[in-house]
Chain A
């Protein structure tokens, strides 16, 4: 038995110039917020941008972007809806706001299906929001989309920094490209980790009020810092 879907992934992504996977090995450090703000910032800069929420069991990009009423169109597969200028794909379109309880193999199957049927067409950037840690979805992205560059998120916490160190070491050993490292919720005590230059995104006490409203998000302190990061990424300055 041959799974035909793996043969289509290269074709579906053939017109995508750059793929950035937003990762981080702790929960609650703002990966989805950074991923959404990054996609919005790139789109606002005039770049054709897509966003895939690959956190199937804990999807939240649709909440951040206020995309609850959007749905893909059936055109040679599924055409992601345009949300605030970003082509957006998420399993939340199909789960109807219910809990999604999946094990590893089921996450792999879901990811294969989404990659097979989603028609991103021509994009400058595809941003992928990964679940916390380095397990099924992250390993599948590394396997199926080897050119995806990791953008590693951390926070000013010894726990998050410790996992950041380990993740960077693993990515280096596995020769996985790293686009950069970002310290979210950064305060004055935020430190550099190892020899990696950290981009800082300040703690934004007003961020919660922007949820569901991309216009409000684009006016936030968080967005402004991420927009600077997006400009650096696009200029190739963050690549390690």
Chain B
């Protein structure tokens, strides 16, 4: 599953942060899941529960907290700000391509006002670690 690699990266980032912050125990890893990449939440939780065991002991009981973030695009040509709902509906194949590589949004979508492909993904692109909570 494609999500495996992303969640594994989250667990590795948390492991490194725990080492740097000298945390004996990580309680929670808070991640932001961007709407554009459409990562499966249930799969992410399940994978994290498996992958945390492959990392250092401090991470073994950590839970994954997920915050959703709406996708926001900003057109560089006309300045319009828009969201996923404002765009033409993607086919299953196109959605899959954006799921694997969110920058493919530039291939399959355009600014609803001026049709430019030159837009910025201002928010809600993919997966980020917002916070790691634990005990020293």
Contacts and interface: CB of A to CB of B under 8 A. Distances in A.
Contacts of B104: 91, 94-95, 100
A98 B109 CA distance: 12
B59 interface: no
Nearest to B101: A94
A77 B97 contact: no
Interface in A7-37: 7-8, 11-12
B106 A106 contact: yes
A53 B9 CA distance: 22
B114 interface: no
B102 A7 contact: no
A114 B101 contact: yes
Contacts of B97: 94-96
Contacts of B126: 109, 113
Contacts of B52: none
Interface size bucket, B side?
20 to 34
Given A4-B6, A4-B10, A95-B107, A78 B100 contact: yes
A72 to B, nearest CB: 8
A4 B6 CA distance: 8
B9 A4 contact: yes
A1 B12 contact: no
Contacts of B13: 2, 4, 6-7
Given A8-B9, A109-B125, A102 B106 contact: yes
A74 B2 contact: yes
A94 B31 CA distance: 26
Nearest to B4: A76
B9 A100 contact: no
A2 B129 contact: yes
A101 interface: yes
Contacts of A96: 93-94, 97, 107-108
B17 interface: yes
Closest 9 interchain pairs by CB?
Answer: A77-B5, A8-B9, A4-B13, A94-B97, A4-B9, A7-B12, A2-B129, A117-B5, A7-B13
Given A5-B9, A96-B93, 8 more contacts: A7-B12, A8-B8, A95-B97, A95-B107, A96-B108, A99-B117, A101-B117, A109-B125
5 contacts: A4-B12, A75-B1, A77-B4, A94-B100, A113-B103
